Amino acid sequence: MGNESNNNLTTSVASWRSDEQYVAQAMESSMYASAHADDTLVLIGPARMPSNPNDLKPVGILQNFSIQQGRSVVPHQAIGSARTFFQSSKVSVSGNIGRLFVNGKNLHRALYDNFYNANEYLLKDSAAGGKSPLPHAPGNENFLVNLDSRLFLIPFGMAVVYRDKLQNTIGAIYVEMMVIPNWSSNIAAGSPTLIEGTSFLADRVLPFAVPSGVGAYTDNKTFNENLAAGDKGLAARLNSILIEK
């Protein structure tokens, strides 16, 4: 389908027909090909990217997640030249997370779920007379808020998996060495929900290999090709139905 599929696309200035063609990629299946919050999953894991994605745990009822990468870029010139060159610093990573305030695991408890399940650290400090170093009240391990606790000195990792409506994995990232500098909760009269929020800092963002989901019956390239495949394509079949009626 190489040359044939390009007939309906603008791939260069020579093939540019703005009234008839899409640019570079067929968009008849744009609703299937686009990422959406419904098909994006956020998971918690160890500080460094694991080899098995099944070791990750999903973070439920998130309302917002944002992440940014940035670096300082400084322009330079040399005496005797009008040309500019650049030097850059290491990339810094930061972001924000918002989660519904519900009866169950709160935001920080969900982010540290791996810690509670791994049993790799002592949950009680015998040197402190048996007092737990964890930032929760006795009998309620689901509510963590005290950022001064030693628990929050332990970094964690986070994965974000993006899929389309056909359940093809568009891509995934793993955010390594995440630490939490703050926590917030805002209350407004008449609001139907309360949201817990936190920001984070991280070491780096890596691409993460995650297989497509079960039931991913096609990919978008095949869908686009079938949609416009001449007399046998989906578009032709739909048109024939309309003509028959």
Is residue 28 in some structural domain? no
pLDDT given for residue 245 in this prediction? 47
Give the containing element (helix H, strand E) for 237: helix 234-244
- In this prediction, residue 2 carries a pLDDT of 41
In the block, residue with structure tokens 């926590």: 183
Q: What is the pLDDT along the chain (245 residues), one digit of tens a residue?
A: 344 445 678 889 998 988 888 888 877 778 877 888 999 999 999 999 998 888 899 999 999 999 999 999 999 999 999 999 999 999 999 999 999 999 989 999 999 888 777 654 445 443 444 455 566 677 787 888 888 888 888 899 999 999 888 778 889 999 999 999 999 998 999 989 999 999 999 999 999 988 765 444 455 556 666 666 666 666 666 666 666 54
Residue 74 belongs to a domain: yes
Q: Is residue 5 assigned to a domain?
A: no
Amino acid at 147: L
| Domain contains 14 | no
pLDDT of residue 3: 42
Q: Is 242 within a domain?
A: no
Whether residue 21 is contained in a domain is answered as: no
Q: What is the CATH number of the domain that holds 41?
A: 2.30.110
pLDDT of amino acid 131? 52
pLDDT for the residue numbered 67: 97
Cβ-based neighbour number of residue 15 at 10 Å: 13
As for how many domains the chain has, the answer is 1
Euclidean distance between CA atoms 220 and 218, whole angstroms? 7
241 assigned to some structural domain: no
> What is the chain's percent helix, strand, coil content, to nearest 5?
25, 30, 45
**Residue 126 sits in which domain range?**
37-217
Asked if residue 131 belongs to a domain, the reply is yes
